[in-house]
Structure 1
Amino acid sequence: MDKVSFRKKQIDIMEEFMKSDQAQKEINEVYLKLFDDSGFKAAKSIGITLSMGSEIPTFPIIKECWDLGKEVYIPKTFKDYSMTFVQYTKDTELETSSFGVREPKNYQTDVLNPPELIIAPGLAFSEDKKARLGFGAGYYDRYLAQYPTKTVALALSRQYYLQTQWPVFVLDKPIDQIISVAKDA
């Protein structure tokens, strides 16, 4: 199946799944696994998106980072499909991008490229190739090509595949680690 078709199918699957009690149970389990992960514990700076729609809510992760004294950085994207990570605090002023993502309004200061650990967003992840199916714009793949750093993905059961179900291209950057409740099954 081509990426565009698989992405659309995956969006539908996740929108439906996120309404279920099972999704909330899995989200809580994934949080606990992340917070217990040695790479997460060791990282002093975390790159993460502000979640939206049918994504795993990221604010509980951000709050845990702040409680642990970690610096949190969120992406600011640009028209040329590049992005940078800007420090996020309780006082950060946000604006909505053309993709509907909340981003820092001011991005000239408090930039860190790359954060020690990036929690990469995505629609689907595969164990065999550590592949990540993003939302189609290629921001993370371009960023990771320029700023290699440790990456982790959080995958609910409906996002986790043992075998990659979509085409993976040379520009697609693999994820270092996938944290998923599906791995326990």
Structure 2
Amino acid sequence: MDKVSFRKKQIDLIDEFMRSGNAQEEINDLYMQLFQDEEFLNAKSIGITLSMNNEIPTFPIIKYCWDMGKDVYIPKTFSDYTMTFVKYTSETPLETNSFGVREPVNFETDTLNPPELIIVPGVAFSKDGNNRLGFGAGYYDRYLASYPTRTVALALSEQYYLQTPWPIYVLDKPVDKIITVKGNNNV
């Protein structure tokens, strides 16, 4: 199956799962695993997106980072499909981009490329090769090619595959670690 078709099917699957009663329990499990992860605990700067509907909510992670004294950075994207990470605080002015993602308005100062650890979003992840299927614009693949750093992803049971069912291309960047629901055997 091609990436576009698989991505659409996957987004529908996630939407349905997020409406089910099981999603919050899995999300809480992923938070707890992340908050105990050694690389997360040791990183002084965290890159993370501001979640949209039917994504794992990122604000609890952001708040936890702030409570631990970590610096939080969120992506600012550009029309040439590049991005930069901008320091995020509760005072940061935000705007919504053409994809519906909230981003910082100001990006000329307080950037960090790359943060020590980036929590990478995606619609699907696979155990073999730690492959990631993103949202289709390639921002993270381009960014990580220019700014290699440690990466982690959080995968709900409906997002995690033992084998990669979508095509992998040379420009696709795998993630270093995928945190998924304990006992997950999705295939």
Under TM normalisation by the shorter chain, which class is it?
Answer: over 0.9
Report the counterpart of residue 172 of structure 1 in structure 2. 172
> Where does residue 123 of structure 1 map in the other structure?
123
Pairing 1:35-184 to 2, within 5 Å after superposition: 35-183=35-183
Q: Deviations over 1:77-110 (max 9, x none)?
A: 0000000000000000000001100000000000
Q: Describe the SS at the equivalent of 1:15.
A: helix
Could you tell me whether the CA contact under 8 Å between 2:157 and 2:184 is conserved in 1?
A: no
Quote how far apart the aligned CAs of 1:182 are. Answer: 4.8
**Secondary structure of the structure 2 residue equivalent to 1:129:** helix
Which letter does structure 2 place at the counterpart of 1:49?
A: T
What's the RMSD between the two structures over aligned residues? 0.8
Cα distance, 1:20 vs. partner? 1.4
**Residue deviations 1:93-143 (CA, integer Å, cap 9, x gap):** 000001100000000000000000000000000000111000000000000
SS of the equivalent of 2:128 reads coil
Counterpart contact for 1:156–1:182, Cα < 8 Å? no
Is this contact kept in 2: 1:160–1:182, CA < 8 A?
no
On the 8 A contact 1:26/1:156 being kept in 2, the answer is yes
TM-score of the superposed pair, with normalisation by structure 2: 0.97
**How far apart in 1 are the matches of 2:179 and 2:147?**
22
Q: Alignment partner of 2:63: what SS?
A: helix
Q: Which amino acid aligns with 1:168?
A: I
Matches of 1:44 and 1:7, distance apart in 2: 33
Q: TM-score, normalised by structure 1?
A: 0.98
CA contact (8 A) 1:157 1:182 kept: no
Gaps of 5+ in 1: none
Task: Find the aligned partners of 1:24 and 1:14 in 2 and give their Cα distance.
Answer: 13
Q: Which amino acid aligns with 1:67?
A: D
Q: Does the Cα contact within 8 Å between 2:10 and 2:124 map onto a contact in 1?
A: yes
2:93 aligned partner, one-letter code: E
| Number of matched pairs | 185
Secondary structure of 2:129 counterpart: coil
Asked if residue 32 in structure 1 is aligned to residue 32 in structure 2, the reply is yes
- Ranges of 4+ aligned residues in structure 1 off by more than 2 Å: 182-185
Q: Secondary structure at the match of 2:125?
A: strand
The 8 Å contact of residues 46 and 118 in structure 1, kept in 2 or not, is answered as yes
- Name the CA distance, whole Å, in 2 between partners of 1:22 and 1:184: 13
